Amino acid sequence: MAEIKIIPKEKEMPKLKKVAAYARVSIDTDQMLHSLSSQVSYFSEFIQSHPDWQYVGVYYDRGETGTKASRGDFQRLLGDAKKGLIDIIITKSLSRFARNTVDCLKSIRELKAIGVDIYFQEQNIHTLSANGEFLITLLAGYAQEESRQCSENVLWRVKKNFNEGRLASKYDCLGYKVENKEFTIIEEEAKTVRKIYDLYLKGYGYYKIAKILNEEGLRGKQGGLWSQSSINQILDNEVYTGTLVLQKTYSENHLTKRRMVNKGEKQKYVVDENHEPIISIEDFNKVQELRALKRKDPSSYVPKGPRRDFIFTGLIKCGICGSTYRHKQGAHKIFWKCNTFLDKGKDYCASTSLRDDCLRKACAKALDITVFDESKFKQNIDFIETYPGNKLVFHFTDGNAKEVEYEPPKKRCEWSIEAINKARERSKLQYAKRKNNTEQN
């Protein structure tokens, strides 16, 4: 009889838990950065001291408030967790993770649904535990209330400074050095400011002024190139007349902290003769009159018809220079063009325009639907990047990305026979002119 040998099953090696940590400081100062460095070192050593854990890394944000969910590394952490790269997230406390109750619980529930545990050390809470979410709801509400109270205290100090005619925070503008809330003229920079006002009063537009300054090697306060928007800001700033206007912008609320232009919602504070002027009141007023005159007929700049909402605004990023795209109204179609290209020209960004209808078709393709759906776009797409060769990269809210190549329309199909014939005639005339110039030389 044959002998049967029983081979015992080999013991499976225990699967290591993939562990990452998250740290954050809200103020980008030397003291806070030292604190952040200490947190990163501590978490790195803590995770690697556990033999049953696999060290993934420490994700951190600096100078970012916890009321915003759009923090760079925070979003990268969530994306990696959703990709299955992380099993456990460790953070110092609930307030380091998030101060906004809604965003905090939304993130926790998303991670809980895919089995990712978050451990808050100070509170000794695991989100996957039975009572984890109940305790977190209470603590998150407390953290949000604490943030609101801090915001109100800051606003009280700001308002007190405004009532006394003083700056509430650091002020930085071309032409002045501000120390201890006192303005001192930097003559070299002041020359550039005077040149901008002088050129505008001579009839030069924003684009032309920016081009002249860039060609002459003159730079802005931070050393950057000039654009139409930066010229507009200089011409719009009454600080150059020695007048200080306080609370021109304000914070929307303690959660979003989005800066809003004050159009009368809040009280403004005007301090006349606060400092030495660079531009006279007379020249400043002449510039404002000229600007108003150029804006007098908006119909020549704004397309006729009902106002449209552009859902792609702020969501298209140039893959060449990193700037955002803005819409431009053509004769019959809407186009999207890079801000750098529009403000500074093709010498600074060689990107091409993107037609709105082509963009919508590409969006439908990225979402695997036949017709563009605005609600699905808002729900699933975070932002879009454009690249040469008619390529778009769609970044989804779940952290994934998808490349789509779109078909630009052929111009000939849209031209009338009359337009084609006119273009041919212009081409012939230009060729004849160049030939004639060549023969004369």
Does the pLDDT at position 77 exceed 90? yes
Lowest mean pLDDT among 66-75, 122-131, 176-185: 66-75
Percentage of residues in the chain having pLDDT higher than 70: 70
CA 300 to chain centre: 30
Average model confidence (pLDDT) across the chain: 78
Does the pLDDT at position 359 exceed 70? yes
Q: What is the pLDDT of residue 44?
A: 92
Q: What is the pLDDT of residue 2?
A: 59
Do residues 22 and 94 make contact, with C-beta atoms less than 8 angstroms apart?
no
> Per-residue pLDDT averaged across 337-341, rounded?
88
Does the pLDDT at position 85 exceed 90? yes
Q: What is the pLDDT of residue 366?
A: 92
Higher pLDDT, 166 or 19: 19
Q: What is the pLDDT of residue 32?
A: 57
Q: What is the pLDDT of residue 306?
A: 42
> Per-residue pLDDT averaged across 102-116, rounded?
83
Q: What is the pLDDT of residue 341?
A: 87
CATH 3.40.50.1390 fits 17-147, yes or no: yes
pLDDT 10s digits, 210-231:
888 988 888 888 788 888 888 9
Neighbours of 71 (CB within 10 A): 21
Q: What is the pLDDT of residue 162?
A: 46
Residues of the chain with CATH 3.90.1750.20: 165-297
Q: What is the pLDDT of residue 429?
A: 78
Lowest mean pLDDT among 165-169, 329-333, 345-349: 165-169
Does the pLDDT at position 260 exceed 80? no
The size of the chain, in residues, is: 441
> Does this model's pTM top 0.75?
no
Lowest mean pLDDT among 16-20, 172-176, 199-203, 331-335: 331-335
Higher pLDDT, 304 or 368: 368
> Per-residue pLDDT averaged across 4-16, rounded?
68
Please name which of 254, 244, 53, 267 lies closest in space to residue 150, comparing C-alpha atoms: 254
Residues of the chain with CATH 3.40.50.1390: 17-147
* Neighbouring C-alpha atoms within 13 Å toward the C-beta of 154: 12
pLDDT 10s digits, 49-76:
999 999 999 998 886 665 566 788 889 9
pLDDT-derived band at 116 (thresholds 50, 70, 90) equals very high
Does the pLDDT at position 416 exceed 80? no
Higher pLDDT, 121 or 413: 121
Phi and psi angles of residue 157, each rounded to the nearest 5 degrees, phi first = -65, -40
Does the pLDDT at position 273 exceed 80? no
- Architecture of domain 165-297 in this structure: Alpha-Beta Complex (3.90)
pLDDT 10s digits, 11-45:
566 689 999 999 887 765 555 556 788 888 899 99
Q: What is the pLDDT of residue 149?
A: 63
